[in-house]
């Protein structure tokens, strides 16, 4: 059987919806903006409902369009989440590494966010982004708790990231994209 070039190029295009969840203020929107646009804004602007961002890349001969659905972390928008999760093929759960209430609470909520993802999306690949590494001493981070959580929930892995500096973002998003090709 022969294929035209047009058919072959159509076969190599993928659209992948990636849901990005986590508590409000952990940097979900900033991570996506830094990765897709190379920008970081210092002002915090609460996401209302969800925000959609497209990013096109090429990996292993496939043209991939990642559609990031940045879902508001505040409980005010909980009732909207089921419709935003629909048709997601992967999930990123973000928490803050800050050594304060936000950091502790956002870490404690990882399992809850994953439970939501599984409820509305089924068993899809999920990764954890430990964000805001620029605000802590990375050398003193105890990674045991997050490693245990990753193992317990069978996440693809966790990545130390910074929306401000861009640390870890390229690698983390690349790993997730390659997993989607499987």
Quick: pLDDT tens for 60-70.
888 889 898 88
Q: What is the pLDDT of residue 62?
A: 86
CB 97 within 8 A of CB 132: yes
- Grouping H, G, I as helix, E, B as strand and the rest as coil, residue 90 is strand
Cα separation, 81 vs 149, whole angstroms: 23
pTM, two decimal places: 0.86
- Domains along the sequence of the chain with CATH: 13-181 (3.40.50.300)
| Residue 87, helix vs strand vs coil | coil
Burial class (CB in 10 A: 0-12, 13-18, 19+), 37: exposed
> 155-178 burial string, b = 16+ CB within 10 Å, else e?
bbebbbbbbbeebbbeebbeebbe
Tell me the sheet residues that pair with 54: 67
Close Cβ partners of 93 (under 8 Å, ≥ 6 residues apart):
21, 22, 110, 113, 114, 117, 126, 127, 128, 129, 155
Give the pLDDT of residue 73: 59
Q: What is the pLDDT of residue 85?
A: 81
Q: Which residue numbers in the chain have pLDDT < 70?
A: 1-11, 43-50, 71-81
Neighbours of 43 (CB within 10 A): 4
Task: Report which of 50, 22, 49 is spatially closest to residue 117, judged by C-alpha positions.
Answer: 22
Cα–Cα distance for residue pair 103/22, rounded to 1 Å: 11
Taking every pair of Cα atoms in the chain, the longest distance, rounded to a whole number of angstroms, is 61
Residue 174 is predicted with a pLDDT of 82
């Amino acid at each position: 059987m022969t294929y035209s070039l047009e058919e072959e190029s159509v076969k190599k295009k993928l659209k992948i919806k990636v849901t990005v969840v986590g508590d409000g203020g952990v940097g979900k929107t900033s991570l996506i903006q830094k990765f897709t646009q190379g920008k970081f804004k210092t002002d915090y602007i609460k996401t209302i409902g969800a925000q959609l961002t497209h990013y096109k890349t090429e990996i292993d001969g496939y043209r991939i369009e990642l559609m990031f659905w940045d879902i508001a972390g505040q409980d005010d928008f909980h009732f909207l989440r089921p419709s935003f999760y629909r048709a997601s093929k992967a999930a990123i759960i973000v928490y803050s590494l800050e050594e304060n209430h936000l950091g502790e609470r956002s870490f404690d909520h990882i399992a809850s966010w994953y439970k939501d993802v599984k409820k509305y999306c089924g068993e899809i690949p999920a990764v954890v982004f430990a964000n805001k590494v620029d605000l802590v001493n990375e050398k003193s981070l105890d990674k045991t708790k997050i490693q245990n959580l990753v193992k317990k929930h069978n996440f693809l892995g966790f990545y130390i990231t910074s929306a401000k500096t861009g640390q870890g973002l390229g690698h983390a998003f690349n790993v997730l994209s390659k997993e989607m090709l499987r």
